[in-house]
A and B are shown apart, each in its own frame.
Chain A
Amino acid sequence: MSSFKEMTGKAVAMDRTNVDTDQIIPKQFLKRIEKTGFGQYLFYDWRFKPNGELNENFELNLPENHGASILIANENFGCGSSREHAPWALMDYGFKVIIAPSFADIFHQNCLKNGVLPIVLKEDEVAYLLKQSRKQPYELTVSLENKSVLGSDGFKAEFDIHPYWYNMLLNGWDEIELTLQLEERIREYEAEHSGNSTRIS
């Protein structure tokens, strides 16, 4: 797993509610068998017009927003399909942090697994960030160690993260490796519950 400690970067506002993973990465791009190269398709139907031209009005296409690495989003970001291609695309495009008042469960989990930090802040804090990040340049410094978000305008907020993920991300541990250290325990469980489920083959 990639580690995350601290980063400073340009924040960009995407003030839309219920942004679903079908928008983040449309299905026609899910056929690849690699984890890389999805950034070019991020928000494809919004970034490009049907004729393939750039949609200049779309948030991410505004010249002042180029190079942003922190996405300020709204309620229920990442709802819908479980596709992990969504965080892969966000990451590949350059986003390392997403800040929203709420996230959909699976998407939230998928971000953590890929070292993209999903931060839940209070509604009024997000509303403030949405407003501020419309005026570039607006930079935020996100520290996982201190669980804090600091703005170039003096904004300051703290966030919560499950201690498991806090440690996992800070250290960049391989989750599967850690689980495999519990091999003994898993084997015991399997022995105790051998009648539990029916074998398939």
Chain B
Amino acid sequence: MGNTIIEKIWEKHVVHREAGKPDLVYIDLHLVHEVTSPQAFSGLRMKNRPVRRSDLTFATMDHNVPTVNRNQIVDPVAKNQMDTLRSNCLEFDIPLADLDSPDQGIVHVIGPELGLTKPGMTIVCGDSHTSTHGAFGSLAFGIGTSEVEHVLATQTLWQAKPKTLKVEVSGSLGPGVSAKDVILYIISKHGVKFGTGYVIEFCGDVIKNMSMEERMTICNMSIEGGAKASIVAPDDKTFTYLNGRKYVPEGDDFLDNILEWKQLESDDDAEYDNAIEIDGNEIAPMVSWGTNPSMTAPVNSRVPYLSECDTEAERKAVQRAFEYMGLEEGQQITDINVTKVFIGSCTNSRLEDLRAAAEVIRGKKAAAGVQAIVVPGSQNVKKMAEEEGLAQIFMEAGFEWRESGCSMCLSMNADIVNPEEHCASTSNRNFEGRQGAGARTHLVSPQMAAAAALHGHFVDVRNLAAVEV
């Protein structure tokens, strides 16, 4: 029997194996941000332990950073957290993409962008969306702060070998249907814990035909389906993307790497612990209506009726979600009005996402009463978007063009959605209070968010295209 890509990477990283214990696996890259690291560094300091491999560690500030006047951090507690990261990086000799660095950005955007993320690696970060990096054929997963400390001290982690789940997305996507819709569709169909205990391998024609950006969007949100991590086998698109990036080897070294990376692909006779098949042709643009990402429906449909719930627990959860979201059962998705639009987050803030949104709004204006903000995922994305005129398109349409960071994805900085306000958001979580106390989040693709901004309610981007192209 052959091996899956997941097993191949795993076995290559086992440092120590003994009965009755998880495996001790080596970590090739450790990404660090300001929110989940301070207690880990204090732990080291208390025991007088050094960082074992600061050369395999890379830090950035993203969660707390303001997206306007970014150097004036008014919240003293946030400022303290950022200052703490800065001094920890200095003390332990860890490279940091600080606020004034051209490389600063959301940790999961800059990893790939700088070429830190590469196929075959094990990557961790104290952040659940570390799964994003799996798009490059690396085994990347989120960890807690104790584990951050463990990796800083030992460059290893005790981890039980994960089970494998193959998710094959076949067919092709219709116009106006994006990677975001694919992952929302999968979660709406299979729930928020179908991936629990598994590492997912995404494959099939739809995945093959996706750009690296789109694959990142899919892997990013696999955690919303409960998966520890997800992975896409590296191919020529992966190699082309990586070629020439800051931390990618050059010349013959790069070619050697490619030869190695090509071996990672799952063998034809590899067996998975579980498998799911998805027909890409069935997927429509999606809009989440509830308070977890499985509460999502196609834009041209409606929210459920309570009578359609299978179990009492589900009925209670849906009822609660309706109350929180201010929705009626059976309501059409296109009847939901929005007054906030957020284009950003590690799910959808890369150049391609911004291009897709700009395409929808070019030459148009945001509806009266809608505040739309665009937060590029990194300073590099911001610069490129400005150079190619996207920023101009957004501003002419009345969208606010901001500095890079996590922003309204979790609203730790000043960017928040008001109580009871509906927000079309390209982020990944629609949990209660995520974007602010009482905020009503609807997860959508960048195209759908842009279209909602123009109309003040959700619209099917496919209709826009039919009418206006």
Contact = CB atoms under 8 A, between A and B. Distances in A.
B154 A179 contact: yes
B315 to A, nearest CB: 11
B144 A50 contact: no
How would you classify the secondary structure of chain A's contact residues: helix, strand, loop or mixed? loop
Interface stretch (B15-23, B348-356, B368-376): B15-23
Contact of A105 (B77, B126, B196, B438): B196
B437 A201 contact: no
A84 B37 CA distance: 10
A201 B54 contact: yes
A87 B145 CA distance: 11
Contacts of B15: 182, 185-186, 189
A104 B193 contact: yes
A76 B193 contact: yes
Nearest to B126: A82
Interface residues of B, number: 77
A180 B24 CA distance: 11
A106 interface: yes
Interface in B56-79: 56-58, 63-64, 75, 77-78
Contacts of B410: 22, 27, 81
Contacts of A154: none
A8 B149 CA distance: 31
B226 A79 contact: yes
Contact of A179 (B24, B247, B429): B24
Interface stretch (A32-40, A64-72, A133-141): A32-40
A45 interface: yes
Contacts of B462: none
A80 interface: yes
Interface residues of A, number: 54
A193 B26 CA distance: 10
A17 B291 CA distance: 11
B193 A179 contact: no
Interface string A130-151: 0000000000000000000000
Contacts of A196: 28
B449 interface: no
Given A30-B412, A185-B16, A200-B56, A82 B142 contact: yes
A197 B29 contact: yes
A142 to B, nearest CB: 22
A33 B40 CA distance: 9
Contacts of A17: 313-314, 317
Interface in B409-455: 410-412, 419, 429, 431-434, 437-438
A114 B80 contact: no
B144 A82 contact: yes
B419 A106 contact: no
Given A82-B144, A185-B15, A197-B28, A175 B193 contact: no
B39 A82 contact: no
The 10 closest A-B pairs by CB, nearest first: A33-B38, A110-B144, A113-B146, A84-B144, A197-B28, A84-B145, A31-B77, A82-B142, A82-B128, A22-B431
17 contacts: A16-B316, A18-B193, A20-B429, A22-B429, A27-B410, A31-B78, A83-B144, A106-B228, A110-B146, A163-B21, A175-B150, A176-B154, A179-B153, A180-B153, A197-B118, A198-B248, A201-B54
Interface of B: 12, 15-16, 20-22, 24, 26, 28-29, 35-36, 38-39, 42, 47, 49, 54-58, 63-64, 75, 77-78, 80-81, 84, 95, 116, 118, 121, 126-128, 142-147, 149-150, 153-156, 158, 160, 192-193, 196-197, 226, 228, 247-249, 292, 313-314, 316-317, 320, 410-412, 419, 429, 431-434, 437-438
